[in-house]
């Protein structure tokens, strides 16, 4: 099956004149070539994983194929079916365990534990930290006891900064090696010091090329603000610190079909992760027909008929 490569733009609401309904759109902009079948056909089937949420962020369930619309470069495509996705997810949880997380590490453990328990049983989960060099505490697994053991090893590391963009690049490489078909990344980050030296846009492109949605929870609390001046043998705080991380958190979620959540207190972390688990567990698989062409579409829009404000997020479904 051809694979769409793209990123998600911020969903918006618009009125489709003449039809009398509100259409919420998510747009995927194609950034790579589509894989063409070996034998010419009139049409091919393409698929998307789609989240449809109320204004309060609650997944809308029970939608059918007639509720979805798909456009390629502004041209209507026939939606063949829309059903609740049962495809197993491959989830990588990246946790900030730098010194900036020292006072909230217990909250992080409890939040991750709750999140893991609320995901579907067939979800394979990897637990990764990104304070200093990336460390894989638990390789991708469905075994709860291994994950619980890894969660218990989440401790902050003294005198460490994070390397988030580097960790995301390596995690994308892991997904690629495993030929992951439904990859998801969940980042739990503080606003402490980060020394990432990789290009955020390049890493974002790497993620969306493989259809990996990046969701980020950013904890902006006074307890996680730090100043590393004079540490690590540095004479002064480097001017480039934090830039790559901050840009990655700005562009990564939106361009990969995920989203970013900023919280001012870690007391809300468990609830935020619970809502994310519920969203991931209630996605749709939307399959549509597209002409078999050597020229790929430049943009794909996914629409949902709704009388109320909704949010639509979409990522391409990969096939082996």
Q: How far is CA 139 from CA 54, 96, 210, in A?
A: 34, 17, 20
Label residue 231 left, alpha or beta by phi (over 0 means left) and psi (-120 to 50 means alpha).
beta
CA distance 208 to 6: 6
Q: How many CB atoms lie within 10 A of CB 253?
A: 23
Judge residue 143's burial from the number of C-beta atoms within 10 Å of its C-beta, 0-12 exposed, 13-18 middle, 19 or more buried: exposed
Q: pLDDT value at position 120?
A: 97
Q: pLDDT value at position 159?
A: 84
- DSSP code for 197: -
Note the pLDDT tens digit of each residue in 64-91. 999 999 999 889 999 999 999 999 999 9
Going 144 to 274 to 58 to 69, the CA torsion angle's sign is: negative
Q: What are phi and psi of 155, to 5 degrees?
A: -130, 150
CA distance 79 to 290: 9
Q: pLDDT value at position 24?
A: 57
| DSSP codes joined into one string, 248-316 | HHHHHHHHHT--EEEES-GGGHHHHHHHHHHHHTT-EEEEEEEE--SS--SEEEEEEEESS-EEEEEEE
Which residues in the chain show pLDDT less than 50? 1-23, 30-40, 222-225
Query: In 159-268, which residue ranges form alpha helices assigned H by DSSP?
Result: 164-178, 200-209, 243-256
Residues ≥6 apart with Cβ < 8 Å to 24: 11, 12, 13, 52, 303, 304, 306, 309, 310, 311, 312
Which percentage of the chain shows pLDDT scores above 70? Answer: 82
In this prediction the pTM is 0.85
CA distance 17 to 302: 17
Place of tokens 């082996």: 320
Q: pLDDT value at position 25?
A: 59
Enter the tokens of residue 256: 């990969």
Place of tokens 């009388």: 307
Q: pLDDT value at position 30?
A: 47
Nearest to 270 by CA among 202, 217, 232, 215: 217
- Structural contact between residues 30 and 6, judged by C-beta atoms closer than 8 angstroms: yes
């Amino acid at each position: 099956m051809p694979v769409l490569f793209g990123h998600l733009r911020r969903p918006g609401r618009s009125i489709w004149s003449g039809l009398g309904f509100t259409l919420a759109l998510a747009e995927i902009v194609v950034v790579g070539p589509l894989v063409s079948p070996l034998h010419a056909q009139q049409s091919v089937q393409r698929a998307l994983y789609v989240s449809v949420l109320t204004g309060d962020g609650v997944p809308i369930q029970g939608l059918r194929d007639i509720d979805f619309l798909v456009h390629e470069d502004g041209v209507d495509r026939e939606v063949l079916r829309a059903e609740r996705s049962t495809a197993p997810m491959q989830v990588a949880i990246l946790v900030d365990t730098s010194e900036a997380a020292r006072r909230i590490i217990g909250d992080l453990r409890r939040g991750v534990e709750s999140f893991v328990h609320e995901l579907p049983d067939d979800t394979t989960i990897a637990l990764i930290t990104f304070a200093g060099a990336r460390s894989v505490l638990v390789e991708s697994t469905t075994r709860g006891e291994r994950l619980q053991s890894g969660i218990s090893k989440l401790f902050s590391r003294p005198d460490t900064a994070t390397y988030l963009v580097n960790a995301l690049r390596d995690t994308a490489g892991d997904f690629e090696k495993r030929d992951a078909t439904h990859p998801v990344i969940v980042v739990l980050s503080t606003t402490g010091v980060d020394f990432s030296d990789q290009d955020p846009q390049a890493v974002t492109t790497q993620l969306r090329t493989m259809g990996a949605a990046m969701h980020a929870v950013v904890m902006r609390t006074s307890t996680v603000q730090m100043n590393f001046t004079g540490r690590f043998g540095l004479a002064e705080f480097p001017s480039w610190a934090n830039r790559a991380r901050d840009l990655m958190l700005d562009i990564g979620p939106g361009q990969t079909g995920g989203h970013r959540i900023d919280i001012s207190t870690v007391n809300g972390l468990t609830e935020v992760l619970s809502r994310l688990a519920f969203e991931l567990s209630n996605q749709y698989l939307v399959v549509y027909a597209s002409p078999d062409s050597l020229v790929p579409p430049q943009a794909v829009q996914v629409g949902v008929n709704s009388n109320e404000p909704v949010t639509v997020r979409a990522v391409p479904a990969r096939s082996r």
